[in-house]
Amino acid sequence: MTKIVPMEEAVAAIPEGALLALGGFAIARSPVAFVHEMIRQGKRNLTIAQCIGAFETDLLVGAGAVKRLIYAGGTLDRPGPLHNINRAIAQGTIEVSEYSGFSLALRFLAGSLGLPYLPAYTLLGSEILERLLQEKNPEVALGECPFTGERVVMLKALQPDYAIIHVPRSDPQGNAIIYGPCWDLEAALAAETIILTADEIFSGELTPQQAQEVAIPAPRVKMVVHQPYGAHPTSVYGKYDYDRRHIDEYVSCATTPEGMKKYLDKYIYGVSCFDEYLELIGGLRRIQELAADSLKKY
Amino acid sequence: MTKIVPMEEAVAAIPEGALLALGGFAIARSPVAFVHEMIRQGKRNLTIAQCIGAFETDLLVGAGAVKRLIYAGGTLDRPGPLHNINRAIAQGTIEVSEYSGFSLALRFLAGSLGLPYLPAYTLLGSEILERLLQEKNPEVALGECPFTGERVVMLKALQPDYAIIHVPRSDPQGNAIIYGPCWDLEAALAAETIILTADEIFSGELTPQQAQEVAIPAPRVKMVVHQPYGAHPTSVYGKYDYDRRHIDEYVSCATTPEGMKKYLDKYIYGVSCFDEYLELIGGLRRIQELAADSLKKY
Amino acid sequence: MIKSGDYTTRELMAVAGARELQDNQNVVVGLGLPQVATELARRTHAPHINIILEIGVVNPAPIEPTVGIADPRFWYKSEYFTTFVGAMGQFLHRGLVDVGFLGGLEVDMYGNLNSTLVELPGGGIRHFTGSGGGNDIASLAKKTLVIMPHQKRKFPPKVSYLTSPGYLQGGSSRREAGLKGGGPEKVITDKAVLGFDKKSGRMKLLSVHPGVTIEEVIAHTGFELLIEEVTTTAPPTENEIRLLREVIDPLRMYIK
Amino acid sequence: MIKSGDYTTRELMAVAGARELQDNQNVVVGLGLPQVATELARRTHAPHINIILEIGVVNPAPIEPTVGIADPRFWYKSEYFTTFVGAMGQFLHRGLVDVGFLGGLEVDMYGNLNSTLVELPGGGIRHFTGSGGGNDIASLAKKTLVIMPHQKRKFPPKVSYLTSPGYLQGGSSRREAGLKGGGPEKVITDKAVLGFDKKSGRMKLLSVHPGVTIEEVIAHTGFELLIEEVTTTAPPTENEIRLLREVIDPLRMYIK
């Protein structure tokens, strides 16, 4: 049963105010094409949950689509900070729940397994914890281990409405293969509904080798969008490198709200679909430059 | 840095009374060769933890090496029950803590991540839970979720002293590849010390493909024993099939203590090492019959 | 038209099981009739059913007879391999398993199952398989289907050891215990199909297999069954029989 | 013999970091000096060090300059890929990380780190990177090494936001908070190497870099340092300099 749908249709399924997990990590495997289309469709009041803030989330915040951010901080690595996120938090234009990376990952893990919460030893003594405990509806609590009496931080399970995950390969049923580290797996499996964007669709019965590589199993996946280079300008290990030139341009635009508006106008509102954007950033020629080496995988 | 050691040396490292996780599941990927050597070396008073009882554990119980069993029940699938385990429990010659498969798996998961315990919704209302709560030093407790008020079973982390895991392939450093389902991964990673027995040692730098297949990473592994067919008569997916003929012989012996004694005398005490046992069960010819098909993997 | 002599009781049981499954459901399957029933559903009205083996295997399509879920024959053409926590956590404890199959030594009037031990007449116990994933499935699946031989000693008023919860002591006791799964939906035996009264949680006779009388079922049940409207279990279709015999279990390992 | 003009301050810092690492340790590494220091240790006295990237990568051996842990150049020749929970749980929270590197906007007299925000003179805040895995590393690693530029405003008596715990309010407050990791062991700056008094948890000057005076360090620190025996930071060896310049960072991205 194929779950392949056009990008417009998959994005249209996301309701106003949804809680989304996004799959990127800094400048790696961000579901950029999906976020472009969300911005074009004018999604608003989203809550985004992501262990380490990434390119697509900065974009979404910059477009004014985000009401609340649940994350553990982040940057675009050396190319620069998450300007839009940092600015929105500083100016109070978005609500933010800041975690450490692992504590938020545990909330996803609990969600993925249907466990109500997880007890851990991180965050203790920090102002991060202090602020989380002071939230209106706290999703973190202090407690103690019933076996050892030790103090623990109890982290409530997080089950986003949707996880948007970009993968190099998926079959039409949604058996998704991810190469390299898989930081977003707990977030993906925590969500009620998983939507994949995939650079490549492969078909036919899975070989044992392929089954071994499947990271996200089809029964958990609702929709698959086929979008080659759908993570550009971020990288997909085994497929293509990040586009440093474009990320630098992005960071330089994102430094000011005015610059960001220009970026959005040019690269998102100014095109009708992601393929048009790919033409704009240099088309086939640029894409070929970014193709991963078969041994190095970048 | 190679971690390859002879079987005798690896087994000698296990102290009397140790708490071991064993990797088998019914008649799949049991660390049989390691258990043979443990029996030959006369290990005693062991505590064995295993989600689903398997061939090697029945063997170890039948040899009188086990003081306490922490498990969730099990059989040898159609070939028969775990006669020695069932008999030992019925006669009270071993202590037993019976769980459900998932509740015990969660104790391993907690152990693997260093979480003090995990809260879950299983076991509730059962006599399994009732008996676990009545143990002298309970490792299970009832509680409630601090966020929802729902009743939960709190399962204390379990960190065995050693996990003994049989794998089809490992490099000398202990980067271990497992094909097919990996039911024993949480138990392996929960242990303080992981000892691998491997059908095959591969060397050289890992390719990206191999790194992708590594299930147990070298930094967690203390020793690697190279023992081809080390899981016989159980199967190793991708390597060899289970030996139905031998398992049937085992089950028929294990039906009585006298039969079990004969089995131990013939196949374990009567040989000096596992390679000798392999000759006894049919040598090269039998082993060739059991070789896995390259597509079917069994 | 199929007549009662044209199929075996186990074929009828497999068909009764298959008819409880719907398309797109996630089903935890074990050896024997559960596997056969699920495969039959998949090849008839439920082509997109997802099969989960607790050992960490999703959507296998075995082509050879297997001896259990630890038999790699059962894993043939799987789409996904995972860990024990992966299978039992991400699907079952997460609340995503629609149907789980169960069996045991005893089932009582509230659908509680014993698969652990029986007390011997002369004192002492005999110990059996235990829970495996059975308790977890009984606790967490949206519904469970119990498959059992219909014998009086296997249907006692109260199980001698409660391995896997049904409706516990009946009424709201299952919910009050904190269990999330829906509990046993049907008990499929070699004589009848039984269900449960929603309110009391007591076992109820739904249909008797062709050729079996209500009295016979009562005589083989160790507790009082609720009996209201009782029908005859719908026999297999010719297509179902053909699939069972020619495609799903040609060696007649499970359906003879 | 190496003279002070023969190496850069960042080379000295890398060497000071490398010397804190021992063979067979598990080290959580990030971009820049932590990576360079760890690689130097691996190529000198600690060949079996294990490198963990929080993104889910173990034992990479990059051969090209990277821009961060999300750069696949940093994952080259990895031995194992895992999830975020795999890296941070199985190693760090499990108590198996010996050393973690940290940095930040501010470090205070108890080694607490701020990497989240600063309050602006005119009111309001400026928001920065936040924790990432930093808080987790500070909470859970057996010891942490802090690498910071030595500036008075970056060394305040109290951080303006406590992102990652050091010795908290000093004394036994870290232990009482329930933190399992050992806390900051060293602070390596462009002027000095600092440690902590075991009892009070206060920062202590251990060594000044060649050419730097104690007074200079004091002048660039916003709180009172404990000063007992102060040595001079041992300079790099010729082999270390060669490795740094020719093998580890030939483009001088991190050590110039």
Whether A219 and C96 lie within 8 Å, measured CB to CB: yes
Q: Which residue has the tokens 């029933």?
A: C37
Query: Quick one: average pLDDT of C34-39?
Result: 94
Please report the domains of chain C, with CATH numbers, ordered by start residue. Answer: 9-248 (3.40.1080.10)
pLDDT score, position C118: 95
Return the CATH number of the domain spanning residue range A7-97+159-289. Answer: 3.40.1080.10
Q: Which residue has the tokens 């086939």?
A: A284
Half-sphere exposure of D186 (CA within 13 A, CB side): 22
Q: Are B23 and B165 in contact (CB under 8 A)?
A: yes
pLDDT score, position D4: 66
Query: Strands D26-28 and D99-102: what pairing?
Result: parallel
Whether B108 has its CB under 8 Å from any CB of chain A: the answer is: no
Measured between CA atoms, how close is A206 to chain C, in angstroms? 6
Interface test with B, best of C66, C85, C96, C167 (most B CBs within 10 A): C85
Q: Are C48 and C65 in contact (CB under 8 A)?
A: no
Give the number of other Cβ atoms within 10 Å of residue A237's Cβ.
Answer: 22
Q: Which chain A residue lies closest to C96 (C-alpha atoms)?
A: A220
Interface test with C, best of B113, B118, B121 (most C CBs within 10 A): B121
Q: Are C203 and C187 in contact (CB under 8 A)?
A: yes
Q: What subunits make at least 3 CB pairs under 8 angstroms with C?
A: A, B
Interface test with B, best of D81, D83, D94 (most B CBs within 10 A): D94
Measured between CA atoms, how close is A124 to chain B, in angstroms? 14
- Taking only the tens place, the pLDDT of each residue in C177-194 is 999 999 999 999 999 999
Q: What subunits make at least 3 CB pairs under 8 angstroms with D?
A: A, B
Q: What angle do CA B118, C183, B109 make, to 5 degrees?
A: 20
Whether C96 and A220 lie within 8 Å, measured CB to CB: yes
Which helix or strand (DSSP H or E) is residue D139 part of?
helix D134-140
Interface test with B, best of C71, C102, C116, C174 (most B CBs within 10 A): C71
B212 contacts in chain D (CB < 8 Å): 81
Q: What angle do CA D132, D135, D141 make, to 5 degrees?
A: 115
The residues near D199 (Cβ < 8 Å, ≥ 6 apart) are: D171
B114 contacts in chain D (CB < 8 Å): 89, 93-95
Q: Which chain B residue lies closest to D24 (C-alpha atoms)?
A: B219
pLDDT of residue C42 exceeding 90: yes
Can you read off the two tokens belonging to residue B59? 């063997």
Measured between CA atoms, how close is D192 to chain B, in angstroms? 33
Whether A238 and B208 lie within 8 Å, measured CB to CB: yes
Q: Are C89 and A114 in contact (CB under 8 A)?
A: yes
For helices B257-264 and B244-254, angle between their N-to-C axes, nearest 10 degrees:
130
Give the number of other Cβ atoms within 10 Å of residue A143's Cβ.
Answer: 14
Nearest CB partner across the interface for C139, out of B89, B121, B244: B121
For helices A32-40 and A55-62, angle between their N-to-C axes, nearest 10 degrees:
10
Instruction: Give the residue from D53, D47, D44 showing the smallest Cα distance to D97.
Output: D53
pLDDT score, position C4: 66
Nearest CB partner across the interface for B116, out of A116, A148, A295: A148
Whether C106 has its CB under 8 Å from any CB of chain B: the answer is: no
Measured between CA atoms, how close is A49 to chain D, in angstroms? 13
Distance, CA of A177 to CA of D8 (rounded, Å): 45
Give residues 42 to 81 of C whose Cβ lies within 8 Å of B: 53-57, 67-73, 75-76, 78, 81
Amino acid residing at B16: E
Measured between CA atoms, how close is C115 to chain B, in angstroms? 9
Which helix or strand (DSSP H or E) is residue A213 part of?
helix A208-213
Residue C147 confidence class, pLDDT cut points 50, 70, 90 = very high
Nearest CB partner across the interface for C93, out of A113, A211, A220: A113
Q: Per the residue annotation, which of C11, C20, C39, C54 is the catalytic one?
A: C54
Percent of chain D with pLDDT over 70: 99
Distance, CA of C236 to CA of C245 (rounded, Å): 12
Q: Which residue has the tokens 């709201």?
A: C172
Whether A119 and B116 lie within 8 Å, measured CB to CB: yes
Q: Are D58 and D87 in contact (CB under 8 A)?
A: yes
CB pairs under 8 A between A and B: 66
Distance, CA of D185 to CA of D104 (rounded, Å): 16
The H helix count followed by the E strand count for chain C is 7, 14
Ordered by start, the domain boundaries in chain B are 7-97+159-289, 117-156
Give the number of other Cβ atoms within 10 Å of residue A181's Cβ.
Answer: 30
Q: Do chains B and A touch (3 or more CB pairs under 8 A)?
A: yes
- Taking only the tens place, the pLDDT of each residue in A95-150 is 999 999 999 999 999 999 999 999 999 999 999 999 999 999 999 999 999 999 99
Whether B211 and D81 lie within 8 Å, measured CB to CB: yes
Q: C54 catalytic, yes or no?
A: yes
Half-sphere exposure of D14 (CA within 13 A, CB side): 33
Give residues 117 to 136 of B whose Cβ lies within 8 Å of A: 117-121
Whether A154 and B146 lie within 8 Å, measured CB to CB: yes
Percent of chain C with pLDDT over 90: 91
pLDDT of residue D256 exceeding 90: no
Q: How far is CA B5 from CA B29, B36, B158, B198, D247, in A?
A: 20, 16, 27, 11, 34
Longest dimension (CA), chain D: 52
Distance, CA of C36 to CA of C27 (rounded, Å): 12
Can you read off the two tokens belonging to residue C232? 């005859």
Buried b (16+ CB within 10 A) or exposed e, D123-156: eebebbbbbbbbbbbbbbbbbbbbbbebeeebbb
Q: Are B164 and B195 in contact (CB under 8 A)?
A: yes
Distance, CA of C89 to CA of C78 (rounded, Å): 18
- Taking only the tens place, the pLDDT of each residue in B137-152 is 999 999 999 999 999 9
Distance, CA of A152 to CA of A150 (rounded, Å): 6
Query: Strands A117-120 and A95-98: what pairing?
Result: unpaired
A179 contacts in chain B (CB < 8 Å): 208, 212
Amino acid residing at B49: A
A206 contacts in chain C (CB < 8 Å): 77-79
pLDDT score, position C1: 59
pLDDT of residue C119 exceeding 80: yes
Q: Are D50 and D26 in contact (CB under 8 A)?
A: yes
Query: Quick one: average pLDDT of A260-267?
Result: 98
Q: What angle do CA C41, C45, C51 make, to 5 degrees?
A: 40
- pLDDT 10s per residue in chain B (298 long)? 899 999 999 999 999 999 999 999 999 999 999 999 999 999 999 999 999 999 999 999 999 999 999 999 999 999 999 999 999 999 999 999 999 999 999 999 999 999 999 999 999 999 999 999 999 999 999 999 999 999 999 999 999 999 999 999 999 999 999 999 999 999 999 999 999 999 999 998 999 999 999 999 999 999 999 999 999 999 999 999 999 999 999 999 999 999 999 999 999 999 999 999 999 999 999 999 999 999 999 9
Whether A75 and D88 lie within 8 Å, measured CB to CB: no
Q: Per the residue annotation, which of D11, D20, D39, D54 is the catalytic one?
A: D54
- Taking only the tens place, the pLDDT of each residue in D92-133 is 999 999 999 999 999 999 999 999 999 999 899 999 999 999
| 3-class state of residue D182 by DSSP | coil
Nearest CB partner across the interface for B113, out of D52, D59, D90: D90
Query: Quick one: average pLDDT of A21-43?
Result: 98
- Taking only the tens place, the pLDDT of each residue in D148-195 is 999 999 999 999 999 999 999 999 999 999 999 999 999 999 999 999
Amino acid residing at B219: P
Q: Which residue has the tokens 């050693």?
A: B162
pLDDT of residue D1 exceeding 70: no
Measured on CA atoms in the order B270, B274, B279, B285, is the torsion positive or negative?
positive
Strand A151-156: give its sheet, edge to edge. Answer: A117-120, A151-156, A140-144
The verdict on whether omega for the bond into residue A233 sits within 30 degrees of 0, i.e. cis, is: yes
Whether B212 and A179 lie within 8 Å, measured CB to CB: yes
Query: Quick one: average pLDDT of D33-50?
Result: 96
- The whole-model pTM stands at 0.98
First to last CA, chain A: 33
Can you read off the two tokens belonging to residue B3? 């971690």
- Taking only the tens place, the pLDDT of each residue in D206-221 is 999 999 999 999 999 9
Whether D128 and A128 lie within 8 Å, measured CB to CB: no
Buried b (16+ CB within 10 A) or exposed e, C175-188: eebbbbbebbbbbb
Distance, CA of C100 to CA of A276 (rounded, Å): 48
Q: Are C244 and C215 in contact (CB under 8 A)?
A: no
The residues near A265 (Cβ < 8 Å, ≥ 6 apart) are: none
The residues near B207 (Cβ < 8 Å, ≥ 6 apart) are: none
| 3-class state of residue A161 by DSSP | coil
Measured between CA atoms, how close is C174 to chain A, in angstroms? 19
The residues near A267 (Cβ < 8 Å, ≥ 6 apart) are: A36, A277, A280, A281
Whether A221 has its CB under 8 Å from any CB of chain C: the answer is: no
Whether B128 and C163 lie within 8 Å, measured CB to CB: yes
Buried b (16+ CB within 10 A) or exposed e, C71-109: bbbbbbbbbbbbbbbbbbbbbbbbebbbbbbbbbbbbbb
The residues near D143 (Cβ < 8 Å, ≥ 6 apart) are: D98, D99, D100, D181, D182, D183, D184, D185
Distance, CA of D218 to CA of D171 (rounded, Å): 23
Give residues 24 to 43 of C whose Cβ lies within 8 Å of B: 31
Q: Which residue has the tokens 């030959």?
A: B40
Q: How far is CA B78 from CA B23, B208, C160, in A?
A: 20, 39, 25
